[in-house]
Amino acid sequence: MRLIDGYDAALFDLDGVLYLGPQPVPGAVAALQALDAEEIRVLYVTNNAAREARVVIDQLRSLGYSADDHNVLTSAQVAAAGLAEQLPAGATVLCAGSPNLAGLLERAGFEVVYSAADKPVAVIQGYHPKMDWRVLDEVCLAIQAGARWYATNDDASRPTDRGLVPGVGGAVSVVRLVVGGEPIVFGKPHQPMLREAMRRAAATRPIFVGDRLDTDISGANGVGIDSLLVFTGAHGKEDLVQASPEQRPTHIGAGVSALLAPVRPLSLSADRAECRGQVVTADQGRAVLAGPVPPGAEEQLDVLWAVAQLAWVQPELDCRALLESLTLVR
């Protein structure tokens, strides 16, 4: 049985899963086209609140993915809908985010303001590449005056081709240092985004595909759906083995084409894990592979899956040497 055959929809994170910067992830376009050909429901889910859904759709299409209004979901959309549920109609909201977020709030019927002096009933923070520090002043003042505090998402960092830079979670942290407390957050790994994705996909048994344990996989686990961790983006083999229980994926794969491959089986006992003939045992506190390291990437992923499962039941297990030997898995 192929992995996707157990599910009625596939929900995808974007960066690190379907594209890396301006380039599609190798093999991903073909895999998504195969899912389309089988009419498997696909939803694209992004925490990026600065870009309009239309921009995301155009980017996905330019790379060869078939995206449209019905299957692209941004954290700004979820936030605007969430505020419409939680605040009175026409309420005054201080927007500390991009013009995209402000536009969505206006379309949801809110009066958007930019100063605490306008007595907003709520403030919302979202990523904006040109955020003015003075906006943070207004956010803090409004919260201290009693406004409810929201954030589209709370990603601490954003990957760029030059390295990690602050995400909106950085701006949220600055406000937290001043006012204390926590905002209500809509994006992954928080539940509103995942629940809206499931609703939009009309899915009862979806699988979430992501590259980050702390947002994608943790978010999927939080709403009780299965997940596939792919190794084309942020997190790698060490992260997987060290994952806390709420960040452990249901499946792993080199990339999204793993959806079209057989499920990676596993048998596990206290001191031994086996995946497709790759046997890993716990020997005097160290993870040991029975036999030589296999030469293929898929077989090395089988070893990794066995190591991870064993490490998850034996947190003290020393896996470093075995993980280092898996040179084809990042």
Residues in touch with Mg ion (CB under 5 A):
13, 15-16, 211, 233
CA angle 21, 27, 30 (to 5 degrees): 110
Q: In terms of Cα–Cα distance, which of 240, 228, 226, 153 is closest to 188?
A: 153
Using the minimum distance from each CB to Mg ion, give the nearer residue, 158 or 195: 158
Using the minimum distance from each CB to Mg ion, give the nearer residue, 15 or 138: 15
Q: Which residues contact 194 (CB under 8 A, 6 or more apart)?
A: 11, 45, 188, 208, 219, 220, 222, 223, 225
Q: Which of the following is catalytic: 5, 8, 15, 132?
A: 15
Distance in Å, CB of 135 to Mg ion, minimum = 26
Q: What is the DSSP string of 257-290?
A: GGGGSB----EEETTEEEETTEEEEEETTEEEES
Distance in Å, CB of 277 to Mg ion, minimum = 32
Q: At what angle do helices 99-107 and 75-86 cross, to 10 degrees?
A: 40
Distance in Å, CB of 237 to Mg ion, minimum = 17
Concerning whether 13 is annotated as a catalytic residue, the answer is yes
Kindly report the number of other CB atoms within 10 A of residue 15's CB atom: 19
For 324, the enclosing helix (H) or strand (E) is helix 320-325
What phi and psi, each to the nearest 5 degrees, are found at residue 50? -85, -30
Distance in Å, CB of 216 to Mg ion, minimum = 6
Using the minimum distance from each CB to Mg ion, give the nearer residue, 21 or 292: 21
165 within 8 A of 158, measured Cβ to Cβ: yes
Amino acid identity of residue 206, one-letter, is P
Q: What is the DSSP string of 47-77?
A: ---SS-HHHHHHHHHHHT----GGGEEEHHH
Concerning whether 15 is annotated as a catalytic residue, the answer is yes
Q: Report the residue number whose CB is nearest to Mg ion.
A: 16
Using the minimum distance from each CB to Mg ion, give the nearer residue, 52 or 211: 211
Using the minimum distance from each CB to Mg ion, give the nearer residue, 211 or 274: 211
Catalytic residue numbers? Answer: 13, 15
